[in-house]
Structure 1
Amino acid sequence: MLTVGVDLAAEPDGTAVARVDWTAGRATVARVDVGVGDAAIVDAVAIADKAGIDCPLGWPVAFVEFLTAHHTGHVTVPAGVAGRVWRRRLAYRVTDEVVHRAVGRLPLSVAADRIGHTAMRAAALLSTLAARGCPVDRGGDGVVVEVYPAASLRIWGLPDRGYKRTANLPRLADLVDRLRAAAPWLDLGAHEPLCRGSDHAFDAVVAALTARAAALDLATRPAADEVAAARTEGWIALPTAPLDALIQGLPVRG
């Protein structure tokens, strides 16, 4: 099995792609690239069995409806609802609230934070993948699944804060050590120095690991009343099993 992880940014700078090959009892990081353009991302995802993208794959339904109403001059605030409550419903997706309840971290708002620029790029990438015949479902079925590396790290008992940016390279190096200790079956190979020197490269590897969890049905999926929103807004797959479960040869969802 080949899984791909994409730490997506609005521009190639800050974008990383990792490829992980899975064999019996072992996972090998086959390639990690930083500074990746759209064509290379599409090519990598197109040959993957599962690809995890660290970026919102859609916008809140309520936000889209709000923009449509605003475009025609018919915005109304629900009666009896505090303004901050109403704005939160516009700003956060169903999956964001699910993640917040599960791990205590609220993802960036695709409607109100700068991550929206990255989501625009993701939307174009998904469209290109679909045009190439790749099955795309924002809810996680098909080749692509939305992931949140910080949440995956927290669930797997690893530090999930304080390792980003150049000033925190010692913490990133420590995090790499801790990942290797927790997953001795993971071979970073020649790409280990890059993972120690770039949080984007490291997050791309974590995204590829999370994609493996999703492929094995070892990640959260939307409940029946969340499916419709997930297919429009996107759905963050949270691992539901320890790291070691990723190499135990469980059946892959078809």
Structure 2
Amino acid sequence: MLFVGIDLAAEARRTGVAVVREDGALSLEQVRVGGSDEDLVAAVEAADRTGVDVPLGWPAPFVDLVRAHAAGTLSAPASTDSAWRRDLAMRTTDREVHRRTGITPLSVSTDRIAYPALRWAGLEARLRERGIDVARDGSGVVFEVYPAAALHCWSLTHRGYKGAQNAPGRSALAAELVEKTPWLDWNGYRDLCVRDDNALDAVVAALITREAFLGSCEPPTDENREVARQEGWIWLPGTSPTPPTMR
């Protein structure tokens, strides 16, 4: 089986892509930084499952507000305080991630993460036109993943490893991952992951994707399933990655 992880950036040159192959053993078949729209569509088509590190949708209340505001029919809120704005800024899954991990995901409504999210919206449409099930709740072939939160679940370094200035933290995290997943053949890609956090996050995204496929991640509850279909759902793994022999 092939599990693809995509650390999606707004620009192709900063997008990380990793391919994990499982055929009794587990190995990194490819890791690269740089992925055009065409590259990413082809990767999703070739994979059994793909994990994308980007919000797959926007908060439903935010979508409703933008629609009503555009039409000039927005009802005046009782208050525009922080609680009102928080409901517009955070998705249901964002709140669930915070509840479970204490980590607050970037807001796709109010932060720069919206730029790669807009790119994914276009890619989702292209994949859907090709007949690929890209349901945002993970019931199709795509999972929304969040490497920092997954690393926290695995009790690994999840902060201070991004950017050129944090190469030592990235090296330490790569070493932790090697220790945590001794059954994963890195196939010579560890150095690239130490050099570039986009590559490292793509590898983590692929590993989370495998966990989600194996049923080791927390799915939307019945109560949250409908909103997850619109907003997306971040798949958080258990306390440790699953070795191949435990399947």
Question: TM-score range, shorter-chain basis?
Answer: over 0.9
CA contact (8 A) 1:138 1:234 kept: yes
Give the whole-Å Cα distance in 1 for the aligned partners of 2:85 and 2:211.
Answer: 33
Q: What RMSD in Å do the two structures reach over aligned CA positions?
A: 1.2
Which deviations, in whole Å up to 9, do the C-alpha atoms of 1:133-154 show, x marking residues without a partner? 2111100111100000001101
Assess if the C-alpha contact under 8 Å between 1:77 and 1:86 holds in 2: no
| 2:183–2:243 CA contact under 8 A, matched in 1 | no
Task: Report what 1:155 is aligned to.
Answer: 153
Deviates more, 1:134-143 or 1:229-238: 134-143
- Describe how 1:44-193 pairs up with structure 2 within 5 A: 44-79=43-78, 83-193=81-191
Instruction: Measure the CA separation in 2 of the matches of 1:158 and 1:205.
Output: 14
The separation in 2 between residues aligned to 1:186 and 1:72, in whole angstroms, is: 53
CA distance in structure 1 between the aligned counterparts of 2:73 and 2:81, rounded to whole angstroms:
17
Residues 57-103 of structure 1: CA distance to partner in whole angstroms, max 9, x if unpaired?
A: 00011000000111122323443x56111110001100000000010
Residue identity opposite 2:125 in structure 1: S
Q: CA deviation at 1:47?
A: 1.1
Q: Contact 1:52 / 1:207 at 8 angstroms: preserved in 2?
A: yes
Structure 1: 5+ residue stretches without partners: none
Equivalent residue number for residue 21 of structure 1? 21
Q: Which amino acid aligns with 1:37?
A: S
CA contact (8 A) 1:163 1:199 kept: yes
Distance in 1 (CA, whole Å) between partners of 2:233 and 2:243 is 20
Contact between 1:12 and 1:37, CA under 8 Å: does it hold in 2?
A: yes
- Following superposition, the deviation at residue 242 of structure 1 comes to 1.6
After TM superposition, the score normalised by the length of structure 2 is 0.97
- Structure 2, unmatched stretches of 5+, are none
Aligned equivalents of 2:220 and 2:116: distance in 1?
23
The TM-score with structure 1 as length reference comes to 0.94
Q: Report the number of matched residues.
A: 247
**Cα distance per residue 1:169-221 (max 9 Å; x no partner):** 11101111110011101111121111110000000000000000110111111
Q: Percent of aligned positions with the same letter in both sequences?
A: 45
- Structure 2 residue matching 1:117: 3-state secondary structure: helix
SS in structure 2 opposite 1:224?
A: coil
State the match for 1:248 in structure 2: 245
Q: Supply the distance in 1 between the matched residues of 2:115 and 2:167 (Cα, whole angstroms).
A: 26
